[in-house]
Structure 1
Amino acid sequence: MKKILITVIFIQLFLVSCSKDEDAYIPRPLTLELPSNFPDIVYNLENNPLTQEGFELGKALFYEGKLSANDAIPCAFCHEQAFAFTHHGHTLSHGVNGGIGFRNSTPIQNMAFQKEFMWDGAASHLDFQPIIPLTSELEMGETLSNVVEKLKKDAYYQKQFAKAFDDGEVNSANMLKALSQFMVMMVSSNSKYDKYVRNEDNVTLSQIELDGLNTFRQKCASCHATDLFTDQSYRNNGLPINPKLNDKGRFVIFENPNDLYKFKVPSLRNVENTFPYMHDGRFATLEAVLDFYNSGVVDNGNVDASLLRPDNTYGITLNAYEKESIIAFLKILTDNEFLNDERFAEY
C-alpha cells in the first residue's frame, strides 16, 4: 500500500525520582500512517507530538469512568469500537443518572482530518472536543478541575502522566492532549473501497457495487465528498422538525439565521455499523435514509440548494435499483480492520 509516512521525531527527556537516584525516561515516538487516497491531516502534530506513552494514556482515559461525575460513564460508554465508536442502538446519547442527551453520538474515526467537531461544530479543535460531553449535565456531568483532582490521587495516572509529558503534570491540558493522541491514531482507511481505489490485493467490485459507486458520485458526492465522505460543511437536509427536540443545529452556536437547522455533513465511513442515522437517530436503516431523500424532504425555508429538483421540489430522485446499489456501495465502506483493531480496544 502506498502510504505517506509521518514519523513524529520527538525526544523528551525528563527526570523521574527514584529514592536518591534519577532515571531519564525517553517516550517512544509513534508513526502515523496516512493513506494515499486521503487528504492532508488538519491536526497540528508539532503542538502535540505522538508518543506511545501519550497514546496509551489517552486510551486509558478514554475508558476511564473517573472522567464522569459518578465515576461510571467513560467516553467509551457512548462510543463503542465495534460500531465505529458510536452509541449502538441508541437514538440519543445517554449519560450520568439516566440522563439523555439531545443528539445521536457521532463516530470517532479520522478525527485528525477534521476541522471542527460535533453535529453543530461547537468544538473548533480536537483538544477541546472532549470538554463538551465531559461537562454536559446530561452526559458525563463533571468539571475539568474535579476530574484532574481525581486523577492526581491515582498512583497509576501519576506514573502515566510522568511518562507521557515532559513536565509530568497531571493537569487538564495534558489530559486533553493525551485523549487527542489516542483519537488522532484512529484512522479508518482499509475498507474494500479503499483497497479498490488504491489497487491493492487485486480487489474488484461487483456490478451492483460499481453501479452504486457511480450513482453515489452523481447524486451524493457533492456533500459526502473526498474519500473522507464528507465535505465537512453544515447543511439543512430538509428533515421534518422533531417537535420534542426542536434542535436548531448550528444556529445555536452563532444565532445566524442562515444556520437554522444546519448540521455537519457526517462521514459515511463504516455507515453500515453506525445506525441509527441523522443527528437525532430517527432512521434505523439505510433504506429509510434513502427513502427520506427520495420522497421525505420537506421545505422548512432553509433547505440546502443542492437538494432542489428541476420541478422546484426538494429531494434526490432515486429508483428502487439505485437505492439498492447505493446501499451495496455503502457497505463496502466498512473497515473491519479498524472495527477490530486491538490498539483501540479496552482490553
Structure 2
Amino acid sequence: MSLDTVGPGALIHVTERDDVARSRRAAHELAIADGVDGRRMSELALVVTVVATNLVLHGGGLLSLRRLGTLGGPGLEVLAYLDAGSRPWLHPGRRPGESFGAGLSALRRLSDEYAVAEQGSLLWARLGRSARRTRLGHAAGTDPAAVPRQAPYVTGVVAPTPSGTDVVTQWRAVHRPGRVTLVACHAGGPPAEEVARRLMALASRSGRATSLAGYREILGAAPRAGASFIELDLQRRTVTAGSNGSLAVRITADGQPTRLTPSDVPAPEVRVRWAHTVETLIHPESLRGRLAGGAEPAGQGGQPHHPALRAAALLRGREGEAEPSGLVVVARVDEDALASTAAQG
C-alpha cells in the first residue's frame, strides 16, 4: 500500500419511497467504483433497501454510504440515523440488539459486521467486496457493537447544508504506511468551494504542509472558514493535531482526554502519545459542552462505542440548533485489536 484516500460518500435524506430507489442507485455506483463482485452487489442492494425502508417507515432520516478502503475496510460502510423526533426502531418485546424492526434478519445475515445503538435510532454495517463473510459479534463470539477489529478505523458524517446557504463542509483521510492524515473544513462565503478544495489537497502532501501553519494562507482568504488536521503516527504512537475557526479536536489516548479549540490553548498544535488505544474526534466547537458532559451513543452490552455510531449520535444531537450544519470525524486505533488480528492472520 502506498497511499489510500477516503472521505464522505453518498448522503441521502430518506423520507419517502422514491428515496429508497435513490439509495439503491447510490449504493450500486459506489459498489462498482470499489470493485464489489456481482453477488455482493445484490446483497448490498437488499441491505440498503432494508435500511432505507425502515427510515421511511419510522419518520425519515439520513443514510450515509461510503467506501472504507484501508481505514476500516475493505468494503463499504452503511450508516443510518433517524431524524430527531422520529419513532425509534424499538419493537415491544425485543432486546436492544434486535431493535432494527423489519428486515433485521437480512441485515444480520448479509453484513460482515453490524451494530445498533440508542434504541435502534442509529445503525451501522460493513459489507465487504465479496460474499465471503466473517461477521464481528458472531464468528468471533463478541458483541457486534465492539470496536471494529480493523485498525485504524476512520469515519465521518457531514450534516446536510441548508438550502440557500454558501457553506461547504468536507473531510478527507489519507492512509500511508505507518501514518494517517485527517483534514476537515467548514467554510462559508463566495470562496468556500475553492478554500475546501485547497485544504483537502493538503492531506495528500507530506511533511509540514498538513500542519495548521500550512493552512494560514488559504484560510486568510475566507474569514468564515474553520479547519482541523490530525496526524496519526502509527509507528511512534503519537498524534499531532491543530484546529482553527469553528472546528475543534478531542484526543482520547488510553482513556485520557485532551481537548483542542482555538479559544483555550496558546499553541496552534498539540502532540499526544498513546500506548494501546487512541481516538481522535473532529467536531463543531458548539459540541464542546455535550462532550464535556459525557454525551455519547449508548452501545450494547457495555461494549466500547463504534466510531461511526459516535459520529452519527453527536451530529444527530445538533438537529434543532440554530446552525445544525457541520461534521463529525472519528478515527480510532486499537493496537491490541490490531495485534490480535495479526496473530490470527
Q: What's the TM-score bracket when you normalise by the shorter of the two chains? A: under 0.3
Which structure would you say has the larger Rg? 1
Q: TM-score, normalised by structure 2?
A: 0.24
Q: TM-score, normalised by structure 1?
A: 0.24
